[in-house]
Structure 1
Amino acid sequence: MADWFSPAEMFLATVVLAILTAAIVIWQSPRARGTTLIAPVVWSLVSIIAIVLAEWMGWQGTDGGRLAALRFSAAVTTFCPPMAVLGARRPQHLAWQWIVISLWVVLALPAAEACLVRRQASLQLHDARGWFLWGLILVGAGNWLLTRYWLAALAFAGAQVLLLTEHLPGWRSAMGPTGTFLAVFLTAIGALAVAWQNCRPLMIRSRDDRLWLDFRNSFGIVWGVRLQQRINASSHRYDWPIVLEWSGFGVRNDRPNVSPTILSDEHSEQLELAFQTMLRRFVDESWIRRRADATVSTH
């Protein structure tokens, strides 16, 4: 691809795709209003800007060793948004951003050493660090594979591989500006996939199902499973006839003749109180109200 386009054309195409991606992120950002996902949205924009700035430095003729360090430092910012989601529970979600920053510093440290201390002509990572990057890529993508955003998760993971391909064991192929362009292209595809899914109505049975599915899709498997476990533990403790499955609320196996839509007033109030109390660790009342009042489609 580098033979097809001049460096200026490649840089311009990368910038255009980055602007498109940032515009989609900003367009979809109101969905995070009232949640602890504001920080991941901000980190996403920071990552896009960092990648574009690194490519701009390359276009300006920055020497190879320093440019490799800048590109790597920008590439590892892509781990900040998913890491921010893993700490997106009140009240520690704000303090968690220091953990996110610390992760970036640790990941970018080899670039700083190569550029400032060793003054190497190229950045070379030890295999242990490379395998750690593979692990972060898999953890980030895996958190949304069982949600409606699975396609975006795969596209984003592919973008990370392209950005870091020179440093990943089992791959190690220097792609330069071409890799950055393809990575930003995949990121734009992922952002469009998220926007497309958000425009599609959810096929749901009840208000609580809508709250659950929106939460599960937004926060991913880690927090989804955690909330699911706590609801089901409460169900067994208080003898509710329902269970929270990955697709929504259903009937407990030991209560096959009970409909989840027909609960006693007492059970219904207890379930709603427990469910929304747990949700409020991640979202506020306005988010719950917007989902509860939204028009829903039924099977």
Structure 2
Amino acid sequence: MVPKNQVFVFVMHIPINPGGVTAAVALLLGVVGIWLLIRIRSGLRGTTLTAAWAWAMVAWVCLVGCEIVIGVCHQLELSIVDNHWRYLAAMGLFLPTLAQVGAKRRHLVAWQLLMLAFWSALSVPVLEIWFLDSAGRSDPGWIWGCFLGLLMIAGLLNNLATRFGPAALCLAIAQGLMVYPYLPWASAPVTTGGALLSMGVLLLGMGMVAFRSQARSEIVRPENQAWLDFRDQFGSFWALRVMQRVNDAAVRYDWGLWLGWDGFHQVEIVGSDPEFRDEVRQGLVACLRKLLGDFVDQEWLDARLPKCDPKKNGMEDLEA
């Protein structure tokens, strides 16, 4: 069996010379990726994830633009330090998943400013070389490499258990290909072949999201449909928080049910009284509308949940 380290070394040394041809290939991949991202954008309508989508577009344009610039510079025989530019582009790949964590409406604007600061902080190893007139390859050290590895794992875990798990895996692989030289066990730089491969993996992931069926099943109850759509779009971090608040409310108001990862489950016999069942349903809908309202607009909620009884009160303290 070939050691994993040798596989990475082989990938990093794919013999593709940067130049006009590779710049053209990068441009072609870039156009396809932009088209896929525009297609994905329609599925995020009515949610606060449009900010994360915008960061994904920025990251993709930076990655593609980096390879185009490198290819053109090599074609014109202009001096350029490839690994510096690729490092900056690679840091952009962490932005979409970080923006997903900050998707709560009331914190949305402040979080975008924090994203800019975080991107700047991630870029410090290269910025130091540029502005302090240092020389050589950027080498942030093994502690910084471990930090980048943890960011990759955290982003992957946040979405792996959702229906977009395969796309999250593609993103993690692309991140690994681009930041491999800065990980503690690195032994090879990223070449043009490795960068183009990471772009291809990202395209595969974007295609999985863009062409995944959004059809709703008539068998799924509206409460479950709203929960599953929220869970898949916003990831495990916010899904677990909402799950906790819903289950707290279920205990407090004696609804006789609980929310699991796959939807709502009844835990006790709640009786056959239609009025009681309707009261539980009204309470559950009110709870979901209040909690999810921090992330989606009314049109998104109305498309998945029945109207809430305006007389249903007593849930002012429910927050995600």
Normalising by structure 2, we get a TM-score of 0.84
Mapped to 2, the partners of 1:131 and 1:166 lie a distance apart of 12
Mapped to 1, the partners of 2:185 and 2:202 lie a distance apart of 23
User: Structure 2: which amino acid aligns with 1:276?
Assistant: R
The corresponding residue for 1:35 is 47
Alignment partner of 2:94: what SS?
helix
2:67 aligns with one of 55, 73, 81: 55
Mapped to 1, the partners of 2:258 and 2:251 lie a distance apart of 9
2:230 aligns with one of 190, 202, 215: 215
1:224 aligns with one of 239, 250, 260: 239
**1:279 pairs with 2:292:** yes
The answer to whether the 8 A contact 1:127-1:169 is kept is yes
2:174 aligns with one of 159, 172, 176: 159
Q: 1:200 and 1:36, CA in 2 relative to 1: closer, same or farther beyond 3 A? A: same
Mapped to 1, the partners of 2:275 and 2:220 lie a distance apart of 12
Deviation of the 1:143 alpha carbon? 0.5
The answer to whether the 8 A contact 1:148-1:197 is kept is no
Mapped to 2, the partners of 1:52 and 1:19 lie a distance apart of 9
Mapped to 2, the partners of 1:143 and 1:181 lie a distance apart of 26
Mapped to 2, the partners of 1:220 and 1:203 lie a distance apart of 24
Deviations for 1:25-59, whole angstroms, at most 9, x for unmatched residues? 11120221211101110001101111122112212
2:132 aligns with one of 100, 111, 117: 117
User: Structure 1: which amino acid aligns with 2:221?
Assistant: S
Mapped to 2, the partners of 1:162 and 1:64 lie a distance apart of 21
Gap runs ≥5 in structure 1? 294-299
Higher mean C-alpha deviation, range 16-25 or range 123-132 = 16-25
Mapped to 1, the partners of 2:179 and 2:86 lie a distance apart of 9
Deviation of the 1:151 alpha carbon? 0.4
2:114 aligns with one of 90, 99, 102: 99
The corresponding residue for 2:91 is 76
Deviations for 1:180-223, whole angstroms, at most 9, x for unmatched residues? 10111000000111123244555852011111111000000000
The corresponding residue for 1:237 is 252
Q: Give the number of the structure whose alpha-carbon radius of gyration is greater.
A: 2
Identity %: 28
Superposition pairs of residues 163-174 of structure 1, within 5 angstroms: 163-174=178-189
The corresponding residue for 1:289 is 302
Normalising by structure 1, we get a TM-score of 0.90
The corresponding residue for 2:317 is none
User: Structure 2: which amino acid aligns with 1:196?
Assistant: F
**1:268 pairs with 2:284:** no
Deviations for 1:142-182, whole angstroms, at most 9, x for unmatched residues? 11111001100100100001111111122342132111101
Mapped to 1, the partners of 2:218 and 2:15 lie a distance apart of 47
Q: 1:202 and 1:47, CA in 2 relative to 1: closer, same or farther beyond 3 A? A: farther
User: Structure 1: which amino acid aligns with 2:164?
Assistant: Y
Deviation of the 1:13 alpha carbon? 2.0
**1:26 pairs with 2:44:** no
User: Structure 2: which amino acid aligns with 1:151?
Assistant: P
Deviation of the 1:79 alpha carbon? 0.8
Gap runs ≥5 in structure 2? 1-12, 307-320
The corresponding residue for 1:250 is 265
Alignment partner of 2:184: what SS?
coil
Number of matched pairs = 289
Higher mean C-alpha deviation, range 162-171 or range 130-139 = 162-171
Alignment partner of 1:250: what SS?
strand
The answer to whether the 8 A contact 2:37-2:57 is kept is yes
The corresponding residue for 2:316 is none
Deviation of the 1:264 alpha carbon? 1.4
Mapped to 2, the partners of 1:245 and 1:14 lie a distance apart of 43
Alignment partner of 2:211: what SS?
helix
Q: 1:263 and 1:137, CA in 2 relative to 1: closer, same or farther beyond 3 A? A: farther
